[in-house]
Amino acid sequence: MILENDQQVEISINEKIILDFLYRWIRPIRVGDLKNYLNVKHSTLNSQLQNLEEKHLIKWKRYGSVELTEKGKKYSSHLTRHHRILELFLVETLAISVLEAHKISTEITPVASCKFIHYIVQKFGEHDKCPCGNEIPQIEGECSIGGI
Ligand SMILES: [Zn+2]
Ligand SMILES: [Zn+2]
């Protein structure tokens, strides 16, 4: 959830998958390529992008590319923080490969709460990098319970 004019904006699981992907992708991406990477139908993706655009989280040029807005970057860096802390958790607790941890983390990031992430950090401490060697984004203050 994000706060906008004192109103909470709900972001669906599928929209979170898109935001997490866009943060890790860094640069603008064509809608066709995004569709292939996420393996979703064009019509489904279009309506999800429209929702994200209405929430001012992405810039979307029709028939062109999609990229995060400043607000979108802030929100998605929080998601990617969750993603990478979950990778760490999976590797540490289940002793699975980094690649497998990445795949599973992609599946569970959209449903993991800040509270869950908070407990993982309490147990394993703050890390600079995830098991793949990518930076774990820091956020202002701590991962807030109910903040996402
Ligand atoms: Zn969080
Ligand atoms: Zn990683």
Ligand 2 centroid distance, CA of 133 (Å): 6
Average pLDDT value over all residues in the chain: 88
pLDDT at position 145: 46
Q: Which ligand is nearest to the CA of 136?
A: 2
Number of helices and strands (H, E) in the chain? 6, 5
In a domain, 138, yes or no: no
Q: Is the pLDDT of residue 21 over 70?
A: yes
Measure 75 CA to ligand 1 centroid, in angstroms.
10
Q: Please say if the pLDDT value at position 1 is more than 90.
A: no
Q: Provide the pLDDT for residue 3.
A: 54
Number of Cα atoms under 13 Å in the Cβ half of residue 13: 8
Q: Minimum-distance ligand to the CA of 118?
A: 1
Domain count, the chain: 1
CATH number at residue 23: 1.10.10.10
Q: Ligand 2 centre from 136 Cα, in Å?
A: 8
Which residue in this structure is represented by tokens 């040029």? 61
- 56-59 contacts, C-beta under 8 A, 24 or more apart: 57/11, 57/15, 57/19, 58/18, 58/22
Which-ligand-closest: CA of 109? 1
Distance 64 CA to ligand 1 centre (A): 31
In a domain, 142, yes or no: no
Q: What range does the domain containing 32 cover?
A: 2-69
Query: Alpha-carbon distance 21 to 67, whole Å?
Result: 11
Q: Is 141 helix (H, G, I), strand (E, B) or coil?
A: coil
Higher-confidence residue of 53 and 147: namely: 53
Reduced to 3 states (helix: H, G, I; strand: E, B; else coil), residue 63 is: coil
Question: How far is Cα of residue 109 from the mean position of the Cα atoms in its chain?
Answer: 7
**pLDDT, tens digit, 9 for 90 and up, residues 72-127:** 998 899 999 999 999 999 999 999 999 999 999 999 999 999 999 999 999 999 99
Tokens 């669906």 belong to residue: 12
